[in-house]
Amino acid sequence: MHHLPVPIDTLIEARWIIPVDAKNSTLSNHALAINQGKIIDIFPASEAIIRYNPEHTVLLKNHVVIPGLINLHTHAAMTLMRGLADDLPLMDWLNKYIWPAEQRHVNEAYVYDGTRLACAEMLRGGITCFNDMYFYPEAGARAALAAGMRAVIGMIAIDFPTAYASDADDYLAKGLLLRDNLQCESLLQFSFAPHAPYTVSDKTFATILTYAEQLDVPIHLHLHETADEIRIGLESHGMRPIERLLQLGLLTPNLIAVHMVQARESDLKLLQRNGCHVAHCPSSNLKLASGFAPIASLLNAGINIGLGTDSAASNNRLDMFEEMRLAALLAKAVSGQANVLPAYQALQMATINGARALGIEDITGSLTSGKAADIVAVDFSDLNLIPCYDPVSHLVYSASREHVSHVWVNGKMLLENKKLTTLNTSELENRAVYWQERLVN
């Protein structure tokens, strides 16, 4: 008895599919069936004609298909400050350039335009989800929705006034209201985003912890980024910042500690014992001369590590291919072991590990039936990528974001043959020029 092929929205046939599953599979000549925004099946492409009757078929003969990349730490709107203040240490960069520029120029329109510009760059580089921390998060959320991207929007808190909010309570009230208003958006999640231990008081941290436990949302903050930060912590609180967070009860499986460059054995133990996650930002750490995060030690301790770009003002790219490659290379050089952080693990960091840190691993981060169709195709027909012995190795060590050809989020194609479908590039160019003129005057 023959069953009729099942009607579906989209069928993707590819030379390779790397689902980032528990088996570390690499599937050759397989197909993905997508219906109503979800992945419903992965199977040998030769069976496609019997199984499914798709409305759209996308044939990717020379491509590798992977889960959408997850940028675990960024300040998307700062893309408008790319290259504004380079080659400076973090505290000078913040105090003398970035914070003054933000006080003068950042408003809702700035964040909306800057975040859309960031979304364009991220989508073209295979990033389908980003974890954001910035002022006017409502504008950031609207920008992500306009692009059709998945985003985790940080409800920012900082203990000094800005144009956005007058004090810590005001920041949190605005963030919580935003979450209430946009909770129905399936592409959006929320996190608390207290900036860093040196800009947030114990009282504010305590308030955030209370809310985070009630709402079960992640807390996303910069931690142990520089030696300066450790020094400030010791001087002002008599202890290392991570010890202060421990005393305040913030070290939980909901915590995403960004950077963790300055980490000694005792710090790693605290992260490990409390199930915290780390967002590793290798390019930003190198550019600001913050140092080398001890990734091999974090991995040995079984700590979940995702990858982030940080902002385009301190990187200066929102390029997860670059971060995968750098993370793998640095881990080897720093540990003196060439077999540390192999390619498949770097890809996991850029996908499922980020999803796990954000608490959205049931939705995205791997290509498995039932998850959202957040999918990226990378074209391996470039002469620079031939021959290919191992597609995973190629993804991490050879390919670059320029090779990304197609991107789907929630089953919707947002990049088709390298062309954005939801964002108007000439409008974004005009807005970028407008803000550039404002910022330099």
Phi and psi at residue 421, in whole multiples of 5°? -105, -20
> Which residues sit opposite 219 in a β-bridge?
192, 255
Tell me if the bond preceding 89 is cis, omega within 30° of 0.
Answer: no
Listing DSSP states for 113-168 in one string gives: HHHHHHHHHHHHTTEEEEEE--SSHHHHHHHHHHHT-EEEEEEEE-SS--SS-SSH
Asked if residue 38 lies in contact with residue 83, where contact means CB atoms within 8 angstroms, the answer is: no
Query: Shortest CA distance to 227 belongs to which of 194, 200, 279, 263?
Result: 263
Q: Tell me the C-alpha distance between 401 and 81, whole Å.
A: 21
Residue tagged 């860093």 (tokens): 196
Q: Tell me the C-alpha distance between 275 and 262, whole Å.
A: 19
Query: What is residue 430's predicted lDDT score, i.e. its pLDDT?
Result: 98
Query: What is residue 440's predicted lDDT score, i.e. its pLDDT?
Result: 86
- DSSP secondary structure letter of residue 304: E
Looking at the domain 6-67+369-420, which fold is it? Urease, subunit C; domain 1 (2.30.40)
pLDDT-derived band at 90 (thresholds 50, 70, 90) equals: confident
The segment(s) of the chain belonging to CATH 3.20.20.140 are 70-358
Amino acid at 288: L
Query: What is residue 393's predicted lDDT score, i.e. its pLDDT?
Result: 98
Does the pLDDT of residue 441 top 90, yes or no? no
Q: Tell me the C-alpha distance between 55 and 82, whole Å.
A: 41
* pLDDT, tens digit, 9 for 90 and up, residues 314-345: 999 999 999 999 999 999 999 999 999 999 99
Distances in Å between the Cα of 315 and the Cα atoms of 4, 105, 320 are 52, 21, 11
Averaged pLDDT of the chain: 97
Average pLDDT over residues 196-210: 97
Helices first, then strands: H and E counts in the chain: 17, 16
Query: Shortest CA distance to 219 belongs to which of 175, 256, 188?
Result: 256
pLDDT-derived band at 45 (thresholds 50, 70, 90) equals: very high
* pLDDT, tens digit, 9 for 90 and up, residues 173-195: 999 999 999 999 999 999 999 99
Average pLDDT over residues 261-272: 97
Tokens of 420: 């954005």
Average pLDDT over residues 280-294: 96
pLDDT-derived band at 3 (thresholds 50, 70, 90) equals: confident
Distances in Å between the Cα of 369 and the Cα atoms of 9, 39, 419 are 15, 5, 27
Contacts of 275 (CB under 8 A, 6+ apart): 252, 253
Asked if residue 220 lies in contact with residue 266, where contact means CB atoms within 8 angstroms, the answer is: no
pLDDT-derived band at 2 (thresholds 50, 70, 90) equals: low
Q: Tell me the C-alpha distance between 232 and 225, whole Å.
A: 12
Does the pLDDT of residue 1 top 80, yes or no? no
CATH for the stretch 70-358? 3.20.20.140
Asked whether the CA dihedral 63, 68, 70, 76 is positive or negative, the reply is positive
The segment(s) of the chain belonging to CATH 2.30.40.10 are 6-67+369-420
Phi and psi at residue 302, in whole multiples of 5°? 75, 25
Query: Shortest CA distance to 218 belongs to which of 226, 206, 231, 208?
Result: 208
* pLDDT, tens digit, 9 for 90 and up, residues 101-147: 999 999 999 999 999 999 999 999 999 999 999 999 999 999 999 99
The region of weakest confidence among 93-102, 226-235, 311-320 is: 93-102
Q: Could you list the beta-strand ranges (E) of 287-389.
A: 304-307, 375-379
Average pLDDT over residues 70-80: 98
